[in-house]
Amino acid sequence: MALSARMKRNVTGWALILPLVLILIPFFVLPIIGVAVTSFLESDGFGGIIPNFTWDNYLTLFSSDLTFNLYWSTVKFTFFTWVFSLFFGFWVAYFLVFHVRNQLFALGLFLLCTVPFWTSNIIRMISWIPLLGKEGLINSALLAAGIIDQPLEVLLFSSLAVVIAYVHQLTIFMIVPIFNSMARIDKRLVEAAVDAGASKFDVVRLIVLPMCKSGIALGSIFVVSIVMGDFFVVKVMSGGGTASVVGAFYEDIGVLQYPSAAASAILLTVIVFLMVVAILRTVDVRKELS
Amino acid sequence: MSATDNALAEQAVRGRAAGRRRTGGRSWTFYVLLALFIFYVIALYGPMICIYILSFQDVRGGLVFPMKGFSLHWFVDLFTQVRTGDVKGSFDRSFKLAIIVTILTVVISFMSGLAFRKRFRGDTIVFYLMIGSLVAPGLVLGIGIGLIWSYLGLEASWYTSALGAQLSWTLPFGILVMFAVMSRFQNAWEEAARDLGASPMQTIRLVVLPIIAPGLIAVALFGFTLSYDEFARTLQTAGSLNTLPLEIWSMTLNVTSPSLYSLGTVTTIISFVIIGVSLGAIYLIQKRRAARVAND
C-alpha cells in the first residue's frame, strides 16, 4: 500500500515535470553535451576538429594568465552589480511593501519600475550616450558649473559605465523576487514587534531580512548568472577596452578555435553552476515549498 | 466592566493607534526611502526620457543634446528607410514569439511548481538540470543548438529552434519565481478542499489557481521580458528572419541616427499599453474575488 502510494507520487511528479524535461533535453542537455565533447577534441588550427581525445584545451586554459584576468574582471563586474542591485532592489521593494498603503497603488508603482525593462536592452544601453557621453548632459552640466574644465572621459566607455548599465538593467531581477517574498510578511508581525519595543533597525534585521531570504537568494542567482554569462554590455559599454569571459569565447569562435572555445564555455558553466549551488546551499529555495 | 470603561479603553487604544499613525507611520525612514525610490525611478527613466525627447528632432538631429528642431522625421525614417532593415516584421515576430514563450512559460512553470512541491524519484536531477540551463552562457547554448539543428538537417527558425532556446532560458526563471509564489500557499487549504470531496483537478482549478493567480502574472512578466529582449540564445537559432533585438543590434552597427531613439520611443509606448492591460487584468481578478467573498 505504502509502495503504491509512492509509485503514484512518482507518476504524478513525472507527468507534471515532463514538459520541462522535454524542453531541457534538446535545448540544454544535448547542446551542452556537444560542447563538452568538443572541449576534449583536438583542433587542426583551421576550423576543423580532429576526433582525438586530449586534455590540452583545458591545460592551456588553466595555464594562461589571460583566463585568470578574464575571470577576475568578470567576477568584479558581477560583484559590484550584485551589491548595487541588491541595495536598490531591497529598499525599493521595502518602500513599496511597507510604506505604500494602497495595495493597488503599490502594484502600479511596482509596474512603473518594470516598464523600462520591456524595451530593448541595446536601446537602454545606447540611451546612456546623451547623458554620459563626452558631449552628454552630465559633462555639459559639470563644465557649465565650472567643476571640471575638460569633459570626463571616464563616464562612458569605461568599467564605471559597464556597472551602471548592469545595475540599470538587472535591479528588476532583484526587485521582483524580493517584493514577492516581502509582500508575504504579515504586517501584524511587524506591528507586534514595534509594540514590543523593536526599533526600525531591529524590524529590518530580525523580521524582514530573514523572511525575504529566499527572494534575495533568487534575485542573486538571476543577477550572478546573467552577468557572468554576458558579453554584450561589456562590449558596448566599455567601448571595447575591457574583455569578458564570454567575449573571449566569442572571439575564439570567430577565429574558428572551436575546441578551446568549448573548453572555456564548459569551465564558465561549471564555475557559475558552483556559485549558484553555493547560494542555494545558503538558502534552500526548495524547502520553502513544503 | 461598565460601558464607560469599555468606551474609555477603546478610546485609549484608538488614540494610541492614531498617535502611531501620526509619528511612526510617516517617519524619517519614509522620506529617506521615498527619496531613494524617486532617485531609482529617475535613474531608470532619465536616460530613456532623453532618447524619447531626442527622437522628436528634425532632420538635422544628432545623438546628443541640444535638441535640433522638432518633427516626426525619424519615426518616418524608421519605418520607411531600407537601411534600417525590417523593423516592423522583426517586431511582429518578437512580439508573437514573446507571447508564445510567455504562455508556455506560465503553463510549464505552474506544472513544474506543482511537481516540485512533492518529492519524487529523480526530482533533484531535474532541478539541477534546470539550474544548469539557467547558468550556461546563452551564446554557447545558442551555438550548440544551432549546430545540432543543422546536423539534423532541420531549418532553424524563430518559432522552432529559437522558441526552444528561449524556453530553456525563461523556464528556470519562471519555475524559481513559482517556488517563491507557492511557498505562500498553505497545504491546509488543499487538504480542506480534498476533505470536502474535491477531485485533484477541482482542487487545482478552484483552490490552487485562484490563490496563486497574481504570482502567475509575475511569472508571465518575467517570461515576456526575457523573451522579448533575448539576444544571445536567439542569435544562432533564429534562422534567416531576425527578431527585434537582433534587428536592433544590426541597426546599431550601421545606423547612428536618432532613428534608433525613435525605435526606443515606439517600443516603450507598446510596453505601456501591455502594462495597462495586465494591471487591468489584476484589478478585475481582485474585484471578482472580492465580489465572491462578499457573496459568500
pLDDT in tens, B165-175: 999 989 998 99
Res B19 pLDDT > 50: no
Of A103, A191, A208, the C-alpha closest to B16 is: A191
Instruction: Please give the grid coordinates belonging to residue A137.
Output: 548632459
> What are residue A166's phi and psi, to 5 degrees?
-60, -50
Which residues of B are less than 8 Å from A113 in CB distance? Answer: 40-41, 44
Question: Cα separation of A49 and B168, whole Å?
Answer: 28
In chain B, which residue's Cα lies nearest the Cα of A137? B65
Indicate the domain borders of chain A. Answer: 65-289
Measured CA to CA in angstroms, residue A257 lies from A42, A58, A118 at distances of 10, 13, 36
Q: How far is CA B270 from the centre of its chain?
A: 14
CATH of A65-289, one of 3.40.50.10610, 1.10.3720.10, 1.25.40.10, 1.10.600.10: 1.10.3720.10
Q: What is the mean pLDDT of chain A?
A: 84
pTM exceeds 0.90:
no
Nearest to A13 among B51, B123, B286 (CB): B123
Mean predicted confidence (pLDDT) in B98-115? 93
Chain B interface, mutation test: which of A23, A84, A113, A155, most B Cβ atoms within 10 Å? Answer: A23
Give the N- to C-terminal CA distance of chain A in Å, as an integer.
23
Question: Cα separation of A112 and B32, whole Å?
Answer: 20
Q: Residue B61 gets which letter from DSSP?
A: -
pLDDT of amino acid B184: 66
Task: Give SS3 for B256.
Answer: coil
Question: Cα separation of B56 and B264, whole Å?
Answer: 12
Per-residue pLDDT tens digits for B26-46: 778 888 999 999 999 988 888
Task: Evaluate the CA torsion angle B10, B13, B16, B18 in order and state its sign.
Answer: negative
Say if CB A166 and CB A81 are below 8 A apart.
Answer: yes
Q: What is the ipTM of this complex?
A: 0.84
- The residue behind cell 484589478 is B283
Which residues of A are less than 8 Å from B106 in CB distance? Answer: none
Res B10 pLDDT > 60: no
Identify the top-confidence range among A76-80, B136-140, B235-239, B287-291: A76-80
pLDDT of amino acid B117: 83
pLDDT of amino acid B81: 64
Which residues of A are less than 8 Å from B56 in CB distance? Answer: none
**Peptide bond preceding A31: is omega within 30 degrees of 0, i.e. cis?**
no
Per-residue pLDDT tens digits for B43-80: 888 888 888 888 888 777 777 777 777 888 778 877 77
Res B107 pLDDT > 80: yes
Question: Cα separation of B52 and A127, whole Å?
Answer: 9
Mean predicted confidence (pLDDT) in B129-141? 88
Which residues of A are less than 8 Å from B283 in CB distance? Answer: 104
Chain B interface, mutation test: which of A10, A123, A124, A279, most B Cβ atoms within 10 Å? Answer: A123
Per-residue pLDDT tens digits for B243-265: 888 887 777 776 667 777 888 88
Q: Residue B240 gets which letter from DSSP?
A: T
Contact B64 A122 (CB under 8 A): no
B138 touches A at CB < 8 Å:
yes
Measured CA to CA in angstroms, residue B285 lies from B108, B212, B217, B292, B293 at distances of 22, 11, 11, 11, 12
Res B284 pLDDT > 50: yes
Nearest to B48 among A112, A124, A229 (CB): A124
Chain A interface, mutation test: which of B32, B44, B259, most A Cβ atoms within 10 Å? Answer: B44
Which residues of A are less than 8 Å from B286 in CB distance? Answer: 104
Say if CB B267 and CB A120 are below 8 A apart.
Answer: yes
Question: Cα separation of B219 and B215, whole Å?
Answer: 7
The angle subtended at Cα A82 by Cα A80 and Cα A87, nearest 5°, is 100
Which residues of A are less than 8 Å from B144 in CB distance? Answer: 30-32, 34-35
| Ranges of chain A whose pLDDT falls below 70 | 1-3, 47, 240-241, 286-290
Say if CB A165 and CB A131 are below 8 A apart.
Answer: no
Per-residue pLDDT tens digits for B159-197: 888 899 999 989 998 998 888 777 767 778 888 888 888
Question: Cα separation of A49 and A194, whole Å?
Answer: 67
